[in-house]
């Protein structure tokens, strides 16, 4: 996703553009405001859940282990920084 701002009627990118983009290429720009329409939110949720269901259980397990290790390291670092260890 490329972030951009609208200024004097023109769209100005805030991020570096992908190298594969070419001059004159058509792009689709969507409003960055989140919707509070319940139907839109439920549709987005259903799509997200369907995509998540395609992730193998082993990947979920590896992610949980990695997050637990990151939390352990962060707590150890915080104790070290505070002089508690």
What's the pLDDT tens digit per position in 1-23?
888 999 999 999 999 999 999 99
17: containing domain: 4-81
Segment 30-80, tens digit of pLDDT: 887 878 889 989 999 999 999 999 999 999 999 999 999 999 999 999 999
Q: How many domains does the chain have?
A: 1
Per-residue pLDDT at 53: 94
Contact criterion met (CB below 8 Å) for 12 and 5: yes
pTM (two decimals): 0.47
Tell me the C-alpha distance between 63 and 69, whole Å: 10
Residue 83: Cβ within 10 Å count? 6
Residue 26: Cβ within 10 Å count? 4
């Amino acid at each position: 996703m490329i972030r951009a701002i609208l200024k004097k009627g023109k769209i100005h990118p805030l991020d570096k553009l992908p190298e594969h983009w070419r001059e004159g290429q058509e792009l689709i720009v969507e409003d960055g405001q989140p919707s509070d329409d319940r139907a839109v939110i439920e549709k987005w949720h259903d799509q997200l859940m369907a995509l998540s269901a395609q992730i193998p259980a082993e990947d979920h397990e590896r992610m949980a282990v990695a997050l637990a290790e990151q939390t352990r390291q962060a707590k150890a670092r915080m104790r070290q920084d505070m002089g508690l260890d």
